[in-house]
Amino acid sequence: MKAVDIVGTAFRNAFRSRLRTSLTVLAVFIGAFTLSLTNGLGTGVNRYLDDTVASVGVDDVMTVTKVSESRPAEGPAEYDPDQIAVDGPPGTTATALTDDDIDTIAGIDGVRGVEPVKDITTDYVRYDDGGRYQISLSSFVPGMKVELASGAQVDLDATDRQLVLPESYLEPLELGTAADAVGQTVVLALTDGTGTQVTTEATVVGVAEPGVISMAGAVPNDALTQTLYDLQTTGAPEQEATRYARASVSFDAAAGDEATQALQDRLDEAGYTGSTLEDQLGTITAVIDAVVLVLNGFAVIALIAAGIGIVNTLFMAVQERTREVGLMKAMGLSSGRVFSLFSIEAVVIGLVGSALGVLAAIGVGQIVGGVAGDFLADLPGLTLIAFDPVSIAAVVLGVMGIALLAGTLPALRAARQDPISSLRHE
């Protein structure tokens, strides 16, 4: 019997007992359906987080502050001219970084580059002769990106002043749609060191969508940041112009966690605190991965139960076809061919069950995603359940592998049968 004949016979024999095989396929279907759906949920949420997290930071840049951020347990803090306010609860401060600190950090082993973060306090943004609205600016480093409703990311190397504007400003500023806003010029105002309010213009190159973890303000390019910083520090004491709350340090993230930790230790020894993107957001992704892992655990349990069903189905098939097996072996079919025949039957059951389960999961995922979109309208860009072709193929192949493994014992039993004894079986 040729290999093609064995495969064809296995396909036909798999459904000789239709009810029993159908129930086994149903068990496989449930496991594959659950596994595909939970994987799709994890893929959708993690893909959204990956896109959103990219607007917060990048893997190879850490935020460095001087010493540890401090805040008094109770009551107001005593004035310290070396302290500077940082992001956090009211009263949170850190020791200000100076140009000397920037040079010191740049000389630490493992630091590829360091840029002081220039904090800019804007008064308002205005379009044309319309109303004036408060706005904040977010720092931006190479590699970061913002989820856009329209337009493009800012070009950090461009000489013209560019800005990505949050979508929530379109209506107040009367900019029209996101597409209409791209290319328009807005006015930014701030107060300089002499107390005089000054303005500068910037071109809107993109409109940012809101997100769960995203920048709260507008995103300027380096040219706009430098212009605003120069305006803000005009007339201010020189020491005020060289004080920074934090610095962005680039390093080799590909060197591994140990190298990153070693760099953080060296920064700590020098009196600085380094915080990576993983330090800031790792807990969020870890929780999501843990939830998906637990859900996948239930799917695996269902597949194990389905595997036991396959074992039972094939043992019964071997028992019922004892004389048939004996006849095939008596006619010269080798034990290896008999083993292959029953193993392929198990794979067929796994293939049918997993294929149906995956298709059902995709269908249900599309329906759930459409319904959930109405409830998650505030999270644009989120596809709650997304299916990756590689993951889908992995589920099907994995289930077929489990089925093959489950069919090994019944197939061995059939292969080891003595043809004379089998032919005498009643």
Give pLDDT tens digits for 190-243.
998 888 999 999 999 999 887 544 455 888 998 999 999 999 988 887 766 677
Would you give the DSSP letter of residue 76?
Answer: P
How far from 222 is each of 58, 182, 234, 341, CA to CA, in Å?
A: 17, 19, 18, 68
Give 80's pLDDT tier (boundaries 50, 70, 90). low
Percent of the chain with pLDDT over 70: 81
The total number of residues shown for the chain amounts to: 426
CB 399 within 8 A of CB 31: yes
Predicted local distance difference test score (pLDDT) of residue 79: 47
pLDDT in tens, 358-392: 999 999 888 887 776 666 655 656 677 788 888 88
Task: Give the pTM.
Answer: 0.55
Residue spans of the domains in the chain: they are 3-53+283-423, 61-274
Model pLDDT, residue 212? 45
CA 83 to chain centre: 36
User: What does the pLDDT average to over 344-355?
Assistant: 89
The candidate with the shortest Cα–Cα distance to 30, out of 278, 281, 305, 418, is 305
> Which 3 state secondary structure label does DSSP give 84?
strand
Residues 6+ apart with CB under 8 A from 319: none
> Cα–Cα distance between 149 and 129 in angstroms, integer?
25
DSSP state of 209: P
pLDDT of res. 358: 92
User: Higher model confidence: residue 357 or residue 138?
Assistant: 357
pLDDT at 90 over 50: no
- Is it the case that residue 89 has pLDDT exceeding 50? no
Coil/strand/helix, residue 114? strand
6, pLDDT greater than 90: no
